[in-house]
A and B are shown apart, each in its own frame.
Chain A
Amino acid sequence: MKHKFKNLSREDKIFYSVTYVLMTIFFIVVLYPCIYVLSASFSSGDAVQAGRVVLFPVDFSLDGYRTVFSYGQVWVGFRNSLFYTIMGTAINIIMTVAAAYCLSRNDLPGRDAIMLIYTFTMFFSGGIITSYILIKKLHILNTVWCILIPGAINVYNMIICKTFFQNSIPGDLLDASQIDGCSDIQYLIRIVLPLAKSAIAVQVLYYVVSHWNSYFSPMIYLTNQDLYPLTIFLKSILVQSQIDPSTIMDPELQDKITRIAGVMKYALIVVSTIPVLIIYPFIQKYFVKGVMIGSVKG
C-alpha cells in the first residue's frame, strides 16, 4: 500500500522528511572520507601536503601510484598476501564444509557432543601466549604454516554453514539418495555442494577478507621479512610513517619522497583495499541468501 507523498498525513510527512534527512546525512558521512581518500590519491604531492584537497583531485597526478608500484616491499607483501589468501581460504573451505556437513546430519551418533566441543571454543580460549608456545613447539613458527593452519575453522562461520545445510537442503533428498545407495561422501559432493553454492560463496568472502586483512598472527608469528603479508608493511608505512627511500626502484621518485609521502599513503590505502572490494559484488547476490538463512534461524 504505497501512497503518493502529498496524500500522507502531516505526521507521516514529517516522519519521512526526518528519516530521509538523517539517512542522507549518515550516507554522506560514510561516503565523504572515502571520496576524499580516493581524490587525494590522484592529487599531486604538494597539493596533499598543503591540505588543498577537499573533494576532487587537485593537480591530477599519478605520482602516488607510481611510488606505490615502485616500492619493493609492496610487491613482496602483495605476493605473500595473495598466497596466504588463496591457500588459506582453500584450507578453510575444505575444513569448514567437512565439519559443517557432518554436524548438519542428525543421523550422526555423537553429534551433540562434537558440536559442544566446537561451540565451547567460541566463548573460552587459551589466549595468545599458550597459542604462541604451541606454534613454537610444533616448529612452524616463522613458516607459512603458522599463518595458514591456526584459524583453519572459524567456528562461527562453520555454524552458519551448518545451519544452512540443515535448513535449506530438504531431508527427503537424503532418504532418497540413501535408498539409491549413495554414500555419505557422494551425497556431499553430488547433492549438498551444488545446492549450497550461496552458502559457500559467503564463506569464501568471509575467509578471503579475514586473510587479506589479517595482521595479528603475522605480527606475532613471523620475523622473516620475506614472509610478511602486505598488512605488516602497511603498518610501518601508514601507521609509523617509516618509508625507506632505498626500496623505491624509480630514482626520480626517490628524490622527491618527502614531498610525495602523503599522496603515496593515500594511493597505498586504495591499492591495498581494492582487492577485497572487487570480490564483493560477485558474491553480493548470494549474500542475503547465504548469511541470513544461516544466522537468522540459527
Chain B
Amino acid sequence: MIKKELKKAERKRLLKRVGNRWQLYLLLLLPILYIVIFSYVPMGGLVIAFKDYNFKDGIFGSPWAGLENFKKFMTSYKFSTVMINTLTVSLYGLLVAFPFPIIFALGLNAMRGTGYKKIIQSVTYMPHFISTVVMVGILFQVLNNRTGLWGTLYSMITGGIAPNILGNAEAFRHTYVWSGVWQNTGYDAIIYIAALASVDQSLYEAAEIDGASRFQRIIHIDLPSILPTASILLILSAGSIMNVGFEKVFLMQNNLNIKYSEVISTYVYKIGLASGTNDFSLSTAIDMFNSVINFTLLMITNWLSKKLSGNGIF
C-alpha cells in the first residue's frame, strides 16, 4: 500500500519535471522528427536487402529472398576485386594520412617565433576547403603530362616527355592517397596543435633544467600529450575503413583505372542507381554488408584502445 503510494508520488514528480521542461521538448520536436525520418526510416528500409524489391509492390509487398542477395554479391566475380580495392585504398590512405598531421603538428609546435609559423599554418589548411570536384579538376590539370605542372617540370628537368600518370591504372591509388595528404594534413593537424598548446609549460622548463634536448622533449612530453587525441581519431578512422569516400574515387574513376578504382561505395551506386537494371535489393545488401563490417571494426578498435590506453569513444 505504502509502496504503491510512493511509486505514484515518484511518477508524479517525474511528470512534473518533464512538464517543467516542456519548452525544451518543443524545441526538440523537429530535430527528433528529422533524425527519425532521415536516419531511422532508411535503416528500417534495410529489410529490402533480404527481399526481392520491385517498385510496384514496394518495401513491404516485395517477396522475401532470404540471404540470396548477400550470396549473389559474395559469389560474383566482382566481389574480390571490389573488396581488395577498397581495403588497399583505405588502409594505404590510413597508414599515410594518419601520421602526417601528427608529425606536422609536432614540427610546427617546435618552431620558434610566431610569424613564419602562422604563415605556414594558414597556408597549409587552405586546401581542405577545396571541394572534391575542384580537387579532382586540379589533379587532372596539374598532373597532365603535356600541359600541366607535372609535364612542364618533368620536361624542364629531363628534357623528355613525362609519363602519363593519369592514364596509368596502378598510379590511381597513389594519386588518390597523396593528393589527400596534400589537401588535409594542415587541417587535420589543427586538433593536435590545440592539444599541444594546452601542455603545461612547467613540464618543458623542468625538462630543460634536467638537460633534455628539444627532440627528447618531443618524445617525452609532446607525444604523450597528444596520444589520447590520436587514439580517438584512430578508432574513428578504423570504423570507416570500408568507407572509402565515394565522391573522390567516383570522380577520379575512368575506363583506364576502373580495375583498381572500383570500390564498394562506387559499386553500390552503379548497381543500384546508375545501371539500367537498378537492382535496389542487391545494392542495399552490399551497402549493409559494408556497414556491418565497419561497425564491427569500430567496436574492436574501441575495445582494443580501451584495453591498451584507457581511451575509448564509448
Contact = CB atoms under 8 A, between A and B. Distances in A.
A95 B30 CA distance: 7
B35 A117 contact: yes
A249 interface: no
Nearest to B141: A265
B141 A30 contact: no
Contacts of B129: 209, 213, 273, 276-277, 280
B111 A15 contact: no
A51 B148 CA distance: 6
Interface in A80-128: 95, 98-99, 101-102, 105, 107-110, 114, 117-119, 121, 123-128
Given A102-B27, A108-B24, A215-B132, A27 B126 contact: no
Interface string B216-259: 00000000000001000000000100000011000100000000
Nearest to B148: A51
B251 A235 contact: yes
Given A51-B147, A121-B39, A134-B42, A26 B124 contact: yes
Contacts of A292: 191, 194
Given A23-B108, A126-B45, A131-B42, A215 B127 contact: no
A22 B104 CA distance: 9
A107 B273 contact: no
A289 to B, nearest CB: 10
- Main SS at interface, chain B: helix
B142 A12 contact: no
A27 B116 CA distance: 10
B273 A269 contact: no
Interface in B10-46: 14, 17-18, 21, 23-28, 30-32, 34-46
A98 B30 contact: yes
Contacts of A190: none
Contacts of A209: 129
B133 A99 contact: no
Contacts of B14: 109
Interface of A: 1-2, 9, 11-12, 15-16, 19-20, 22-23, 26-27, 29-31, 33-34, 36-37, 40, 48-54, 95, 98-99, 101-102, 105, 107-110, 114, 117-119, 121, 123-134, 149-153, 155, 183-185, 188, 209, 212-213, 215-216, 220, 231, 234-235, 237-239, 262, 265-266, 268-269, 272-273, 276-277, 280, 284, 287-288, 291-292, 295-296
Interface of B: 14, 17-18, 21, 23-28, 30-32, 34-46, 48, 59, 104, 107-108, 110-112, 119-120, 122-124, 126-127, 129-134, 136-138, 140-142, 146-149, 151-153, 155-156, 182, 185-186, 190-191, 194-195, 198, 204-205, 208, 213-215, 229, 239, 246-247, 251, 268-269, 272-273, 280, 283-284, 287-288, 290-291, 294-295, 298, 314
